[in-house]
């Protein structure tokens, strides 16, 4: 279908030419309306395809890509309290005043990759955390 570039000067047209122009514009509007409906349906179908993932279709999880949604827990919140049974004594590992063995964890003296000495400025002066270890039977 051929489209008009610009509107002709209506003062110079006869009544019959204006009627022909109205019919041509009406046909053009009908054609463009059909095109819009067709393209809207195609966009809706493509958007529907994009929104499919392994949770709402039969696609495998490997097809979800990197932006796949996180799995949702089936557990409902607040139905059962967390922790042990009421009245049951806990068995927390307590700190002892005099441990049997102390294992120092000093920073390395040199780099494992380039074998350059490491200074205090590079390593830092953070104090290591205190950890308990229980003997494995």
21 pLDDT higher than 70: yes
Q: What is the pLDDT of residue 130?
A: 64
Whether the pTM exceeds 0.75: the reply is no
Rounded distance between C-alpha atoms, residue 70 and residue 91, angstroms: 35
Q: What is the pLDDT of residue 123?
A: 45
| pLDDT, average across residues 18-24 | 91
| pLDDT, average across residues 109-135 | 68
Rounded distance between C-alpha atoms, residue 69 and residue 72, angstroms: 9
DSSP notation for 39-80:
HHHHHHHHHHHHT--TTTSS--GGGG-TTPPPPPP-SPTTSS
| pLDDT, average across residues 19-47 | 94
Provide the 3-class DSSP secondary structure of residue 117. Answer: strand
For residue 28, the surrounding DSSP H or E stretch is helix 15-50
Q: What is the pLDDT of residue 46?
A: 92
Whole-number average pLDDT of the chain = 81
Q: What is the pLDDT of residue 97?
A: 86
Rounded distance between C-alpha atoms, residue 25 and residue 30, angstroms: 9
Q: What is the pLDDT of residue 122?
A: 46
Q: Residues near 69 by Cβ (< 8 Å), separated by ≥ 6?
A: 53, 55
């Amino acid at each position: 279908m051929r489209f008009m570039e610009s509107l002709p000067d209506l003062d110079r047209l006869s009544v019959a030419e204006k009627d022909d122009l109205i019919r041509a514009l009406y046909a053009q509007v009908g054609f463009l309306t059909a095109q819009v409906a067709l393209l809207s349906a195609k966009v809706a179908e493509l958007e529907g395809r994009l929104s499919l993932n392994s949770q709402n279709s039969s696609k495998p999880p490997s097809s979800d890509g990197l932006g796949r949604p996180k799995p949702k827990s089936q557990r409902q919140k607040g139905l059962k309290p967390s922790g042990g049974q009421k009245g049951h004594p806990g068995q927390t590992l307590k700190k002892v005043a005099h441990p049997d063995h102390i294992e120092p964890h000093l920073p390395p003296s040199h780099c494992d990759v380039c074998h350059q000495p490491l200074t205090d400025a590079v390593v830092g002066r953070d104090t290591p955390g205190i950890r308990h270890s229980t003997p494995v039977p």
